[in-house]
Amino acid sequence: MPQIIRNIPLQLSGGPAREAVAVGNNAAWLCPCGRTLPLLGRTHGSPGEAPANFRVACPDCKREFIIDPADDAPQGRAVQVREVPTTDAR
């Protein structure tokens, strides 16, 4: 049986939500900067903000994202990709 690709929300800061795709705890999405290749990452394990090593930074525009897992499953199935303030800005 093939792996099931699910569509999940991509929440951008200051923009309308788009869509990402997820397989299990992995997700891929297109960066709003126009980078041709998708960004790719996996869910974090903490209920609040993800640790820095779970962030995914776009190599082209430096936007940073985290992938939220389902509430009941740390590092579990991806339910949403969220843009977060860049680490450099803090």
DSSP per residue, the chain: -PPPPEEEEEEPTTS--EEEEEETTEEEE--TT--SSPEEEE--SSSSSPPGGG-EE-TTT--EEEEEEPTTSTT-SEEEEEEE--GGG-
Distance of closest approach, residue 30 Cβ to Zn ion, in angstroms: 9
Site string for Zn ion, 54-73 (x = CB under 5 A): ----x-xx------------
Q: How many residues sit in the footprint of Zn ion (CB under 5 A)?
A: 6
Which of positions 21-40 make contact with Zn ion (CB under 5 A)?
31, 33, 35
Residues that bind Zn ion (CB under 5 A): 31, 33, 35, 58, 60-61
